[in-house]
Structure 1
Amino acid sequence: MSNQSPHPSRRSVVATGSTLLAGLGLGVALPGTSRAATTTAGGAATARGELAAYRPVAVSSTDYAPTPAEFVVDKLNSGGVRGTGWRAAAGDPQWISVDLQADCSVDSISLTFEATSEDPVFVPPTSGNPRTDTTGQELLSSYAVDFVVETSRDHRTWTAVHRATSGKGGLVEIKPARPVTARWVRLTVNKRSNANPLGLNGFEVYGTAKGHRPAATGWTDWGTHTHKAPALDVADDGTVPLESGWTLTMDDWAGGEGADLSRTAVDTSRWLPATVPGTVLATLVDQGHLPDPVAGLNNLHVPEALSRHSWWYRRGFSLPKGLRTGAGRHVWLEFDGVNHKADVWLNGKQVGGLTFPFARSAHDVTDLLVRGEQALAVKISPMPFPGSPGDKGPAGESWVDAGANMMNRNSPTYLASSGWDWMPAVRDRVSGIWNHVRLRSTGHAVIGDPRVDTKLPDLPDTSSAEVTIVVPVRNADSADRQVTVTASFDGVKVSRSVTVAAGATADVTFAPADYSQLRLRKPKLWWPNGYGVPNLHDLTLVASVGGAESDRRTTRFGIRQFGYEFDVKLPFTGGSDAYTQSVDLGSRTARYVRIKCLTRATSWGSSLWTLSVFDSSVPGTDLAKGRTATASSVDESGNPASHATDGDPTTRWSSSFEDDQWIQVDLGSSVSFDRVDLTWEQAYAKTYVVQISADGDTWTDAKSVDNSAVPLPFQSGNASLQTVDFAARTGRYVRINGGARATSWGSSLWTLSVIDTAAPGTDLALHRTATASSEDGSNTAANATDGNPGSRWSSSYEDNQWIQVDLGSSVSFDR
């Protein structure tokens, strides 16, 4: 394997099996230290067999991809994406030659191209990333159409044994008329089937060796092993870890399915010792069969086919004497994490399954246990859409898709395992039993994951805390059970009994309102790094049935309270066809509400997406939603008054193209309210009155609104209206004195308006002289008072900038 880093680095020890590979392998071994001792075709062999396996290969070129020449003779020669193989660089002709390392009698040759004439041709998009939206089933190669196969004894003189001018790809079997003596066998391709690189998954040569050949091996040569799983022990927490003694093989080589492999008599001598917790790639690296992928260009020597196969994990074990079994006990098999999908078998029976990397499962295997040796087999299937990523480096990008079209269909958490801008693809896509596996014995009452909520009620004073503990309890029995749950920590102990129905789960809650001891004085808090000690507290939970302990769990928690406060003073929201204007009315009681549109802001009518009525005591309830609405007119039948109260933000009422139009809503009965929200379409009312009525005939003005001075902002996300009200002032000059900027740019205003609410339709600053501390190019101060909503003032890129307007004379204003 040229271009590989032959020596293990410190980084390889840290990363292999744990970090890049999902992490989680134990007992990481240095590459090369535990490879099986067996070899292929060493010595003088006379039996007929496959001669090219693991032998030296020379090629004309190699694509920038995990398709090195050695993969063509690694015995994983399936067609399509499930096989490994060599892929040439672009262009014709291309050749590949296998050195059999001694004269051999060759009687047949098999070529397996990745693609066939029936496969769709991969055509990358004309722009953007060429691997976007790939599923992982794409064949990124072509096959040979015009090619010749030749043999040689001296590597100089070549004899053709097969020619073709209309190849169809797939498996090509070549049988010379009589056996040929040769040391080298070469394939030369003069024409490919399409513009993709030539791809060859298998180059097999059959016959007999005539003399001594050196031993050869490759990454699929796992040799034979004597597996003796260590005896299981009961841990301090009462569980039995299953994290050593596992073996691993690929689906193609397993020799059976779950019912067969979960039997004690299965021969696993050709399976690999597996790293659990860990991944498939972690095991292959730990056992020295594949190189450390994070060193040098080693990742180009790790095959993508790892993520196109399922993998079988297997372990035999006997139950330890310390694990309680028998009447009234349940034995659970627990998985804390697999990727992507697990099918679990025990003693010839299917236990269940688990899907997605951060899901956990607990399986009641009590009835599946047998006397003596148990046999556990787990089939791990990879993510269904592994993608067909490019490779990091001078030749391209890694990622395949950032959105829901493809990678999020697996699980968004593992998006980057198919490659991203900051990392190459993880070839097995982090497939494996990557987290802990254990056995657990319980009675009928089983404790689930507790939730501990902590509150500091007197902040900023931290001298007191309140702790709430919620404990889910499952009844695994076929009859109802009374369960007593006890929680204890730091000398605090609380207990509660509940009846849990057969097969059901109940939450047992310990709250400070019921248990005063959960109100703590001078608690030891958990502090973030740099702020204090991150104190943790040991919580013990016990579930008892009939006075006997059924289950016990321990966990740790920190006492802290997180909060997040953020006042969004300037909302810059996208969308230019709707603006919500809130009108505070004070406390009102009425059955009818009318919006009387006096003058229009545009040449169209008045138009509302939504008319809502609210009472601040129940802020989430729109009193007008679904109520009957009527109007003075509509511009067309598709925009009736009912659209303003139908709860659909995409429908609207629109009046005829006239002033003095109205819309009203019948609230059904006399109710209290104090605000209306009007979501205007761009054809809004420049001036209007909110009116109320008890009977629909006699109306009272509740609030007048004048939008003349400051038009409603229907911008597309680059403007936000901020109104500042204050007690009436008298002055000639008004200055906006900016402090710190919210961005790295300067300060910028589309409009600066000065209003006296006694005459709300007049902007006192309109067309008045404006000056500023600085100006950015053509964005002058005058733009803020010119009445043009499309022009603006912008300062230099500094803090502490100001803009001011000369109102011409001393006037009164309050907004």
Structure 2
Amino acid sequence: MSDQTSQPSRRTLLSAGSTLLAGFGLGMTLPGPAAVADSGQARQPSRGELAAYRPVAVSSTDYAPTPAEFAVDGLGLVGVRGTGWRAADGDPQWISVDLQALCEVESVRLVFEATADDPPFHDSPSGSPRDNTTGQEVLSSCAVDFVVETSRDNTSWTSVYATDSGKGGVVEITPPKAVTARWVRLTVRKRSNSNPLGLNGFQVYGTSPTTRPHATGWTDWGTHDTDAPALHVAADGTVPLESGWDLTMDDWADGDGSALSEPAVDTSRWLPATVPGTVLTSLVDQGHLPDPVAAFNNLHVPEALSRHSWWYRRQFRLPKGLRAGAGRHVWLEFDGVNHHADVWLNGREAGGLTFPYARTALDVTELLADGEQALAVKITPMPFPGSPTDKGPAGLAFVDAGANMMNRNSPTYLAASGWDWMPAVRDRAAGIWNHVRLRSTGAAVLGDPRVDTRLPDLPDTGTAELTVVVPVRNADADDRRVTVTAAFDGVRVSRSVTVPGGETADVVLSPADYSQLRVKNPKLWWPNGYGEQHLHDLTLTASVGGAESDRRTARFGIRQFGYEYDVPLTFQSGSDAYAQTVDFARTKARYVRVRCLTRATGWGSSMWSLSVADSTAPDTDLALHRTATSSSVDDAANQPGDATDGDPKTRWSSSFEDDQWIQVDLESALSFDRVVITWEQAYAKTFAIEVSADGNQWTEAASVDNTAAPLPFRTAGAASLQSVEFDAATARWVRVLCRTRATGWGSSMWSLSVVDSASPGSDLALRKQVDASSEADGSHAADAVDGNANTRWTSAYEDDQWIRVDLGSSARFDRVVILWEQAYAKTFTVQVSDNGDDWTDVKSVDNSTVPLKISVNGVRVFCRGGNWGWDELLRRMSPERMDAAVRMHRDMNFTMIRNWLGTINR
């Protein structure tokens, strides 16, 4: 007969059916057959699970992490949370377990990964067979027509159960009376679907009258001494928590976070954990699973590691050197977990952390107990681990290369689920992979400092101007006056600020305020091969009321990076935002003002953002989070600070009048040559950029007139506005000769305007006669001058196409404005003519992208192009160096070789 019952606990399984094989160390070979050890002692028969960790033989094995030994490892769960054996394709298939002695078999439990209701899995048609899988796919089938047999000699077999209507899942088989046998075999003649057969549990219950060889497997962790080493205060004043941890799987933990973080929990059967490290690191370090980076060992590491949560636990006493009295805050800091952590201390939840690159500092002051502390951390792997294949002749080991499903876990180690150059990491790098520590502070808590370097006299490097930005947080409820001090190389500077309760403030120490930060003859940091990598020790302190509250140390290099590139055309989709860039001669000033002279609408002048930049460092917004003021606002919700807060959803808007302004205080005199305004639809038709040293006397840096060529807010597709200026010409005809295309399409423009800067309010080409060398996609040349932002001209899909406008009579002009569609001209020439036949070039334009140029300390540096690492070097390594390199990456908590993804800096 057969029925379904609950899964036996791991504790019951281990206590009843196996003992630990002591001394199994880290090796490069797969676990072999259990060794025979005859103690010669009499043994009383006891009922238990007889098949655990015993030798298994099978008809075939799929090319997957599903070897036969996983069917008897004790993790017999239905679905993807179980481990098990998966056969190759085809029927029939069989699996046989050797009990290693004649036993009295009372019952057999079969646990199939699938049930009869599970649909078959079909490879994705995308070319990558497991594209877009979540990790919950059942890749096997269950047995429908099967027989269970026993044997004394592995030759003659007796059937104890047979059916042709199996339903999969858990199947309990109890013969009418106990059967004496050494071998038990399952033979499957028909599967539930086209997936290969999968068996997650083959458990045999009964008694063994004689002593059998000891046997063990990866889930048998034995017992160990749980007395963790005492904690000590490190040189930096923190207390590392990187020893004495224990680890177990969620299904084997006896309780939730509240219960597991009590001092009396017995973890003697848990696994000693490696911290920092992953779950798999601990299992390999303790000798329970093979090293996955060698040979085919990764096929003997179960995927189920990434389908379970894991509990880490450590007990400790606070060391005497850690200040934890009145007025102090004790912080529990995690530098990295993967993927999510729930943290419990002394029976209470302390907080959580998600994503491997995030860090946290949890205030556990109120959670501390007298004497022994108990810390429990639940680690949950990435929610969508995928169902990857394994590296083989086709080389398709990845799920979806991070494009879709894997990015639902982001930011994360995308390649942990496999890539075209590496198989999946079975636990998906789950664990406490980075440092853990305790820290004691007062009310003022320092954050990570940033040291910015400017070499003002390049190419001369004799002077370096350093700006130190130090975040400081007030952990108390009341305001605190905090003094932050930075010291390095004999330089010592301090600044006091008032930090509101529960808030954070950036303390800026700049050379404008501290001449000591203008360093003469600095020892610079250079890239490898360009010079020495000099580093400087920075000590930061935060004091409240004259008493030190926090102290941090860091190392930094004095170096200035430069990035030069040019993307002439930036396309934006039609919406209620348009970024307008205004370039002008480089100037040095503290204050920048945008004076909105006339409005384009009946509303005020409104902008989502206002950025100030130096074109040599275009990604640094000098106005970000700086103080902004304005002449007016139209609503209390649209303040000037909303234009510099970095939030694209907030904006400044003036009153419904002309001649309104917004200005930014950069806090010190800086050099810049660019202002970028992201206008809302109520933009300024004409405006000026003004600069000032004192906020009172203003000098115009640039003026802009948008009248003739309105900003494109409601185009039917992406658009980029390009203004081409040239020496004034007088002519009747204007032609744009599109020489080469930027795409495989034709050259396409939403609008073409001709403007005289002496009278910028008129578009001389508006609704004039126009023709073109060709027209495509149902467009017409006249669509470029009809004043409608949603119509466009498109040429044939060829180079050397043109569009020309007859202005009706000879006119003076010095500017052509083109609103390009994304199929723009990479190179083009503006030409003029008096008769429409004889043409004169007035301006040639090249819209080719200028590649990124990187400089350090004013010197061009050369680096690899693209996003690939230097893995080609590894291919030429000797085997010994290759092994060392692979192990280095493993010791860095990840099995990555290429440095473009998943690399870390410890």
Tell me if both proteins adopt one fold, taking TM over 0.5 as the criterion.
yes
Report the CA distance between 1:435 and its aligned residue: 0.3
* C-alpha separation in 2, matches of 1:522 and 1:720: 56
2:27 alignment partner AA? P
Selected match of 1:30 from 20, 26, 31: 26
3-state SS of paired residue (2:413) = helix
Give the 3 Å change call, closer, same or farther, for CA 628–331 of structure 1 in structure 2. closer
3-state SS of paired residue (1:72) = helix
Instruction: Answer yes or no: is the 8 Å Cα contact 1:254–1:312 preserved in 2.
Output: yes
Instruction: Answer yes or no: is the 8 Å Cα contact 2:355–2:412 preserved in 1.
Output: no
* C-alpha separation in 2, matches of 1:107 and 1:255: 29
3-state SS of paired residue (1:353) = strand
Instruction: Answer yes or no: is the 8 Å Cα contact 1:628–1:642 preserved in 2.
Output: no
* C-alpha separation in 2, matches of 1:179 and 1:163: 17
Report the CA distance between 1:463 and its aligned residue: 0.9
- In the alignment, does 2:457 pair up with 1:454? no
Give the 3 Å change call, closer, same or farther, for CA 213–721 of structure 1 in structure 2. farther
Report the CA distance between 1:715 and its aligned residue: 7.2
1:418 alignment partner AA? S
* C-alpha separation in 1, matches of 2:250 and 2:752: 73
The percent identity for this pair of structures is 66
3-state SS of paired residue (1:564) = strand
1:556 alignment partner AA? R
Of 62-71 and 214-223, deviating more is 214-223
* C-alpha separation in 2, matches of 1:681 and 1:435: 53
Report the CA distance between 1:295 and its aligned residue: 0.8
1:772 corresponds to which residue?
Answer: none
Report the CA distance between 1:117 and its aligned residue: 2.4
1:379 alignment partner AA? K
* C-alpha separation in 2, matches of 1:716 and 1:45: 92
* C-alpha separation in 2, matches of 1:716 and 1:528: 49
* C-alpha separation in 1, matches of 2:218 and 2:834: 86
Q: Deviations over 1:718-770 (max 9, x none)?
A: 969999xxxxxxxxxxxxxxxxxxxxxxxxxx99999874558447799xxxx
- In the alignment, does 2:537 pair up with 1:564? no
Report the CA distance between 1:505 and its aligned residue: 1.2
Report the CA distance between 1:458 and its aligned residue: 1.3
Of 82-91 and 474-483, deviating more is 474-483
Give the 3 Å change call, closer, same or farther, for CA 562–207 of structure 1 in structure 2. same
Number of corresponding residues: 642
Instruction: Answer yes or no: is the 8 Å Cα contact 1:400–1:418 preserved in 2.
Output: yes
2:224 alignment partner AA? H
* C-alpha separation in 2, matches of 1:106 and 1:389: 38
Instruction: Answer yes or no: is the 8 Å Cα contact 2:397–2:419 preserved in 1.
Output: yes
1:550 corresponds to which residue?
Answer: 549
- In the alignment, does 2:203 pair up with 1:204? yes
Give the 3 Å change call, closer, same or farther, for CA 452–626 of structure 1 in structure 2. same
* C-alpha separation in 1, matches of 2:826 and 2:350: 69
1:773 corresponds to which residue?
Answer: none
1:283 corresponds to which residue?
Answer: 282
* C-alpha separation in 2, matches of 1:138 and 1:561: 50
Give the 3 Å change call, closer, same or farther, for CA 700–295 of structure 1 in structure 2. closer
Give the 3 Å change call, closer, same or farther, for CA 462–110 of structure 1 in structure 2. same
3-state SS of paired residue (2:539) = strand
Instruction: Answer yes or no: is the 8 Å Cα contact 1:484–1:545 preserved in 2.
Output: yes
Any unmatched runs of 5+ in structure 2?
1-23, 574-578, 584-595, 601-671, 686-706, 720-735, 739-745, 775-780, 782-792, 804-824, 842-906
* C-alpha separation in 1, matches of 2:385 and 2:107: 36
1:485-634 matched pairs, under 5 angstroms: 485-567=484-566, 620=676, 625-626=681-682
2:78 corresponds to which residue?
Answer: 79
* C-alpha separation in 2, matches of 1:482 and 1:455: 30
* C-alpha separation in 2, matches of 1:42 and 1:705: 104
1:189 corresponds to which residue?
Answer: 188
- In the alignment, does 2:713 pair up with 1:647? yes
Report the CA distance between 1:240 and its aligned residue: 0.6
3-state SS of paired residue (1:285) = helix
Report the CA distance between 1:31 and its aligned residue: 3.4
Instruction: Answer yes or no: is the 8 Å Cα contact 2:833–2:839 preserved in 1.
Output: no
Q: Which has the larger radius of gyration?
A: 1
* C-alpha separation in 2, matches of 1:121 and 1:704: 63
* C-alpha separation in 1, matches of 2:763 and 2:827: 34
* C-alpha separation in 2, matches of 1:754 and 1:550: 66
* C-alpha separation in 2, matches of 1:716 and 1:485: 65
Give the 3 Å change call, closer, same or farther, for CA 700–419 of structure 1 in structure 2. closer
2:248 alignment partner AA? T
3-state SS of paired residue (1:565) = strand
* C-alpha separation in 2, matches of 1:758 and 1:701: 15
Instruction: Answer yes or no: is the 8 Å Cα contact 2:56–2:97 preserved in 1.
Output: yes
2:259 corresponds to which residue?
Answer: 260
1:358 corresponds to which residue?
Answer: 357
1:208 alignment partner AA? T
* C-alpha separation in 2, matches of 1:269 and 1:236: 32
2:546 alignment partner AA? G
Instruction: Answer yes or no: is the 8 Å Cα contact 1:41–1:51 preserved in 2.
Output: no
1:789 corresponds to which residue?
Answer: none
1:102-117 matched pairs, under 5 angstroms: 102-117=101-116
Instruction: Answer yes or no: is the 8 Å Cα contact 1:573–1:716 preserved in 2.
Output: no
1:364 alignment partner AA? D
2:120 alignment partner AA? V
2:210 alignment partner AA? G
2:240 corresponds to which residue?
Answer: 241
TM-score, normalised relative to structure 2: 0.65
* C-alpha separation in 2, matches of 1:267 and 1:81: 29
* C-alpha separation in 2, matches of 1:286 and 1:83: 23
Give the 3 Å change call, closer, same or farther, for CA 710–366 of structure 1 in structure 2. same
3-state SS of paired residue (2:113) = strand
Instruction: Answer yes or no: is the 8 Å Cα contact 2:753–2:763 preserved in 1.
Output: no
Report the CA distance between 1:716 and its aligned residue: 10
2:715 alignment partner AA? P
Of 414-423 and 711-720, deviating more is 711-720
2:317 alignment partner AA? S
Report the CA distance between 1:562 and its aligned residue: 0.8
Give the 3 Å change call, closer, same or farther, for CA 617–397 of structure 1 in structure 2. closer
* C-alpha separation in 2, matches of 1:523 and 1:127: 56
* C-alpha separation in 2, matches of 1:646 and 1:754: 23
* C-alpha separation in 1, matches of 2:76 and 2:323: 49
Give the 3 Å change call, closer, same or farther, for CA 386–592 of structure 1 in structure 2. closer
1:124-273 matched pairs, under 5 angstroms: 124-273=123-272
Q: Deviations over 1:17-49 (max 9, x none)?
A: xxxxxxxxxxx973399x9xx999986451011
Give the 3 Å change call, closer, same or farther, for CA 504–51 of structure 1 in structure 2. same
Instruction: Answer yes or no: is the 8 Å Cα contact 1:754–1:764 preserved in 2.
Output: no
1:784 corresponds to which residue?
Answer: none
Of 180-189 and 642-651, deviating more is 642-651
Give the 3 Å change call, closer, same or farther, for CA 550–720 of structure 1 in structure 2. farther
* C-alpha separation in 1, matches of 2:233 and 2:399: 45
Give the 3 Å change call, closer, same or farther, for CA 280–763 of structure 1 in structure 2. farther
Any unmatched runs of 5+ in structure 1?
1-27, 594-615, 630-640, 654-676, 724-749, 767-815
Report the CA distance between 1:444 and its aligned residue: 1.1
Instruction: Answer yes or no: is the 8 Å Cα contact 1:626–1:646 preserved in 2.
Output: no
* C-alpha separation in 2, matches of 1:40 and 1:572: 73
Give the 3 Å change call, closer, same or farther, for CA 53–755 of structure 1 in structure 2. closer
2:476 alignment partner AA? D
* C-alpha separation in 2, matches of 1:574 and 1:716: 24
3-state SS of paired residue (1:446) = strand
Q: Deviations over 1:640-674 (max 9, x none)?
A: x9997661232799xxxxxxxxxxxxxxxxxxxxx
* C-alpha separation in 1, matches of 2:384 and 2:684: 51
Instruction: Answer yes or no: is the 8 Å Cα contact 1:62–1:69 preserved in 2.
Output: yes
Report the CA distance between 1:366 and its aligned residue: 1.2
1:392 corresponds to which residue?
Answer: 391
Instruction: Answer yes or no: is the 8 Å Cα contact 1:690–1:703 preserved in 2.
Output: no
Report the CA distance between 1:619 and its aligned residue: 6.2
Give the 3 Å change call, closer, same or farther, for CA 715–398 of structure 1 in structure 2. farther
Give the 3 Å change call, closer, same or farther, for CA 765–100 of structure 1 in structure 2. farther
Alpha carbon RMSD of aligned pairs, Å? 4.2
Report the CA distance between 1:325 and its aligned residue: 1.7
Report the CA distance between 1:125 and its aligned residue: 2.3
